[in-house]
Amino acid sequence: MPQLSPEDLFRNGIRVDGRRWNELRPIRMEVGVLDKADGSAYVEHGKNKILVAVYGPREAHPKHIALPDRATIKCRYHMAPFSVEERKSPAPSRREIEISKVIREALEPAILSEYYPRTSIDIFIEVLQSDGGSRCAGINGASLALADAGIPMRDLVAACAVGKIAGHLALDLSDVEDKLGEADMPVAYMPTYNSVTLLQMDGVFTHDEFAAGLELAVENCKKIYQMQKEALRRQYLEIGSEGIEANR
Amino acid sequence: MAPLLVARREIVTPGDLLAEGDLRPGDNVLREGDRIYALRVGLVDLDGNRVSVVPLKGCYFPKPGDLVIGRIVEAGLTGWEVDILAPYPALLPMSETYAKGHASKTDLSAIFSTGDLVMAKVMAFDRTRDPLLTAKGPGLGKVFGNRVVRISPMKIPRLIGRKGSMITMLKRETGCRITVGQNGVILVSGSDERAERVVVEAIYKIEREAHTQGLTDEIKEMLRKELGR
């Protein structure tokens, strides 16, 4: 592959993959893809392919992790060895442990864990293919899987990132854009309550860029939120129409 | 009275605004100020001025008085641990069975042993302690000689139907005895195997299509066709 410079990533307002600065990658969402899990979802954000399974509320094991007043929420973000170009060791890395923690903290405000004291709710996020922004895609999938498991939630959590490439603000960075760009800022958001549940940033933004970036991220989280709602409804509407057809 | 902001029986997702104003919050909804939001994926229901969401997915959550069918996990010193498919293990003390004698002098596994199915009622449960069961009562106790069907506990209300319409229809049309545990375990027994099989199929169909309308008639038609009546 030819060496790209940051300037190559943003020419005449068009990015390497043909998107404009304020465009998301194509998103696909499916709910209830795994039989054995209590809730599950499969999401694609561009080239990201992520499978999420949720179990629970179930008995907490080992017993000492159980909390007397609410459910324990466990979250594992894991990248498959074949998800990246160079084989990744399947053991959880420092990065994966940290991402697991921030995803859990991004979802916790949405979950009414006090409904199920002394139990545990387990979220498994498996990245099958990765191309930048997988923690955001993981959050989107995890909130779908939680809703699919029937766990009471205040709201669905939607997430997307904004970044800066060659001095331009850009939405939903891909892997190459993240590596050559100047900044990346993932944002998770609950639209109904207008609250941000995850805000990270690496790189450098000016104050104005940060404000514009946050606004852009929130605006697109709302778009993703609509897709999530649509995905949750779709699985039932499909079953409904099947039933009617079978009856004819 | 303030109107509902969504249609009745519409599918809603967590965070959907259901009503604003003086409606009362029912099950699976959250009131924030004067707004009522959905907490789960389900169908909106309005009973008087009480807004609820009838969930389509979820685990069994024990309630005192519920009839449940569970599996014995282990015989302890004074009672049994029972798996009732809830997030909590249930306890069935020996004093809550018809077994005679003193617990300390009895081999409990001779009464119920690991793997046995028991029908029991939830006697007490308040979330701070594990649910307590009782097997004292007509029809309660060890279960044998039935077909056992397991469905999502959230679909049990649909299987029973409004005022029991669905379940009475199933029993009437097939002549089978059907016992429904609130935890999603159903016992089916009938004089002929064919009828039993048809009932099991019908139960699975109800589970799959619980959120559709006119299901009772559809099931009735299916039963009549299958049984050739």
CB < 8 Å to A112, chain B = 30, 39
Asked if the model's pLDDT at residue B3 lies above 80, the reply is no
Whichever domain contains A141, its CATH number is: 3.30.230.70
Predicted local confidence at residue A247, as pLDDT = 34
In a domain, A238, yes or no: yes
Residue A239 in contact with partner chain B when CB distance is under 8 A: yes
In this chain, the answer to whether the domains covering B11-55 and B67-143 adopt an identical fold is: yes
Q: How is chain B split into domains, by residue range?
A: 11-55, 67-143, 147-227
Amino acid at B184: G
Specify if A128 maps to a domain: yes
B7: tokens are 């249609």
Where b means 16+ CB within 10 Å and e means fewer, A162-195 reads bbbbbebbbbbbbbbbbebbbbbbbbbbbbbeee
Contacts of A39 in chain B (CB under 8 A): 57
**Predicted confidence band at B95 (pLDDT cuts at 50, 70, 90)?**
very high
Tally of domains within chain A? 1
Q: How far apart are CA A126 and CA A81, in angstroms?
A: 11
In 10 A of CB B64, how many CB atoms?
Answer: 12
Rounded average pLDDT over A120-140: 97
| Least confidently predicted of A7-11, A56-60, A170-174, B30-34 | A7-11
Position A1 confidence tier, pLDDT thresholds 50, 70, 90: low
Residues spanned by the domain of A130: 6-247
Contact partners, residue B143, CB within 8 Å, separation at least 6 = B69, B116, B117, B118, B119, B187
* Residue B220 confidence (pLDDT) above 80: yes
Which of A7-16, A121-130, B143-152, B163-172 has the highest average model confidence (pLDDT)? A121-130
Over residues A119-125, the mean pLDDT reads 98
Question: Average pLDDT over chain A, rounded to whole?
Answer: 93
Q: Which CATH code is given to the segment(s) B67-143? A: 2.40.50.140
Residue-level pLDDT at A9: 87
B41 contacts A239? CB cut-off 8 A: no
pLDDT at site B144: 87
pLDDT of residue B229: 63
Chain B interface with A: residues with Cβ < 8 Å: 11, 13-17, 28, 30, 37, 39-41, 55-59, 61, 87-89, 127-128, 154, 208-209, 211-212, 215, 218, 221
Identify the pLDDT of residue A240: 52
Closest-approach residue (CA) in chain B for A117: B127
The answer to whether position A1 is within a domain reads no
Confidence at residue B177, expressed as pLDDT on a 0 to 100 scale? 94
Q: Does domain B147-227 have CATH number 3.30.1370.10?
A: yes
Q: Any bridge partners for residue B51, and if so which?
A: B25, B46
**How does residue B58 score in pLDDT terms, banded at 50, 70 and 90?**
very high
Q: Tens of pLDDT along B9-57?
A: 889 999 999 999 889 999 999 999 999 999 999 999 998 899 999 999 9
pLDDT the model gives residue B169? 94
Chain B residue numbers with beta carbons less than 8 Å from the beta carbon of A65 are: none
* Mean pLDDT of the region A14-20: 93
The DSSP bridge partners found for residue A4 are none
Give contacts of A110 with chain B, Cβ < 8 Å.
14
Over residues B170-192, mean pLDDT? 93
- In CATH, what is the architecture of B11-55? Beta Barrel (2.40)
In a domain, A104, yes or no: yes
**What does the pLDDT read at residue A243?**
40
| A21 part of a folded domain | yes
B166 compared with B4, residue with greater pLDDT: B166
Q: Summarize the confidence of residues A36-59 as an average pLDDT.
A: 96
What does the alpha-carbon distance between residue A101 and residue B95 come to, in Å, rounded to a whole number? 46
Is A223 a member of any domain?
A: yes
pLDDT at A56 over 50: yes
